[in-house]
């Protein structure tokens, strides 16, 4: 987590000028410290009022504030450490990103990290058969409700060309069996 304290931060002006120009987003960003305090102390207040005791407030603070944040950060950091060390590489990438199935539910599908690095603008990271991707489902619902648009979903033709062929995988109707060499792009 040392990267969080690196003074050489990524340029917001270069990589997200649209977000910087968006007034509601700027308002939310400025209010971030307030929301941190509310999300930490709110559960304690509710727990204390519910039980009418300090023990209830402290219990709620521990479970609904500290444990919640600890779990969230550990899952998030696991994606950036575990998923670059262990797992399957189903798509060709320039780095060491991998897919880690046991983190899929906790990370809402973010642990299908290999596709995220292969196709970073794709709304779905778990595009292969059997890969649970809760985030993609939420994005799809937002799209159906009109809250999201121009969503980029996996393209079978584009992704087929990027499969490593190291193991049998399928994307919808697409299947590619093991090949003799990892660099061979011919279908088996």
* Average pLDDT of the residues of the chain: 85
- Confidence band of 10 (pLDDT split at 50, 70, 90): confident
Q: What is the pTM of this model?
A: 0.69
**pLDDT of 9 higher than 80:** no
> What per-residue confidence (pLDDT) applies to 170?
61
Structure tokens at 60: 């709620």
Structure tokens at 45: 């207040």
Which one of 7-11, 90-94, 167-171 scores highest in mean pLDDT? 90-94
Domain ranges for the chain: 8-84, 86-188
Structure tokens at 4: 């969080």
Could you give the CA distance from residue 38 to residue 51 in angstroms, rounded to a whole number?
19
Q: Are 37 and 29 in contact (CB under 8 A)?
A: no
Nearest to 115 by CA among 107, 124, 106: 124
What does the pLDDT look like over 152-165, one tens digit per residue?
998 888 888 788 77
Exposure of 78 by Cβ count < 10 A (0-12 exposed, 13-18 middle, 19+ buried)? Answer: middle
Could you give the CA distance from residue 160 to residue 53 in angstroms, rounded to a whole number?
59
What does the pLDDT look like over 41-85, one tens digit per residue?
999 999 999 999 999 999 999 999 999 999 999 998 888 889 988
Query: How does DSSP classify residue 88?
Result: B
């Amino acid at each position: 987590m040392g990267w969080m304290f690196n003074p050489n931060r990524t340029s917001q002006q270069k990589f997200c000028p649209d977000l910087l120009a968006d007034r509601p987003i700027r308002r939310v960003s400025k209010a971030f410290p307030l929301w941190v305090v509310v999300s930490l102390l709110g559960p304690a207040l509710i727990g204390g009022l519910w039980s009418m005791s300090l023990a209830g407030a402290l219990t709620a603070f521990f479970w609904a504030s500290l444990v919640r944040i600890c779990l969230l950060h550990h899952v998030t950091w696991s994606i950036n450490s575990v998923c670059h060390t262990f797992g399957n590489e189903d798509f060709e990438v320039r780095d060491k990103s991998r897919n880690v199935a046991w983190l899929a539910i906790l990370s809402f599908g973010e642990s299908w990290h290999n596709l995220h690095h292969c196709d970073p603008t794709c709304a779905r990271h778990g595009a292969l058969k059997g890969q649970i991707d809760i985030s993609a489902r939420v994005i799809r619902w937002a799209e159906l409700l009109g809250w999201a648009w121009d969503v980029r979903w996996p393209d079978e033709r584009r992704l087929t060309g990027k499969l490593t062929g190291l193991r049998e995988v399928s994307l919808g109707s697409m299947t590619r069996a093991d090949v003799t060499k990892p660099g061979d792009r011919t279908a088996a």
